[in-house]
Amino acid sequence: MKQYAFRFIFVFVCAFSTLSINAQTIRLFNGKDLKGWHIDVPEMDTNTKAKSPFIVRDSVLVSLGTPAGHLITDSIYQNYRLQVEYRFPSKPGNSGILVHTSTPRALYHMFPKSLEVQLEHGNAGDFWCIQEDIRSAQDMEKRRGPKAEWGVSEGKQRRIINLTDNSEKPVGEWNTIVVECISNVIRVHVNGDLVNLGVCTASKGRIALQSEGSEVEFRKIELTKLKERK
């Protein structure tokens, strides 16, 4: 896709200017186990032989890709900066980080109500609307398609393509993605590049990682809480 010149929109700047960093940083993944998370994998409801696609291997959290499902934080978060280091270890793959996650299995009896920040190789930083919407973003029609086709459910234009090309590292190398959720504004950086920014219909919820057909590794998942300036 073409590189789009980015212009800050006043409402975005105002939203960010009213908050500041709180020193409290939380390690959402402790490097040992999945404490603080729960698994939602539909196949495990009926298939007694199905195994969890989420494991810890050599101090790294691994999403094996199958069966499909989600690893979801037990806690709800609002106003934070999430920093994640991830990689596809051997071949290009697909996964995602879901923010503002709430109702389970709200789309296709699989995806929870949320806003997905895409990790798929070549498309990291795309937004996918999953029963939550992006109400405003730069060049929305260019990146999402005709407005009449926008929506948050089956058959609708739910994808908002990222703003940059070539922000990701080659397969096998570690990427750093930073997702800032402040009020209902979401800003995404991949390896230091601003790749997406939008206003969402939600402002809080759980955080989820996907198992979506590909093996992906996570070695750092940290959340820094933000607070309003006095």
Whole-number percent of the chain with pLDDT over 90: 87
Q: Lowest mean pLDDT: which of 6-15, 66-75, 95-104, 158-167?
A: 6-15
Which strand (E) or helix (H) includes residue 140? Answer: helix 140-144
Q: What is the mean pLDDT of the chain?
A: 92
pTM (predicted TM-score): 0.91
The CATH code for residues 25-228 is 2.60.120.560
pLDDT for res 22: 56
The token pair that represents 184 in the structure block: 């209902």
Q: How confident is the model at residue 96 (pLDDT cuts 50, 70, 90)?
A: very high
pLDDT for res 142: 96
- Closest residue by Cα to residue 164 from 177, 151, 149: 177
pLDDT for res 229: 53
d(Cα 204, Cα 79) in Å, to the nearest integer?
Answer: 8
For 10-28, how does the pLDDT look when each residue is reduced to its tens digit (9 = 90+)? 344 444 545 555 568 999 9
| pLDDT of residue 77 exceeding 90 | yes
Residue 127's beta-bridge partner residues?
A: 117, 160
pLDDT for res 4: 40
| pLDDT of residue 70 exceeding 50 | yes
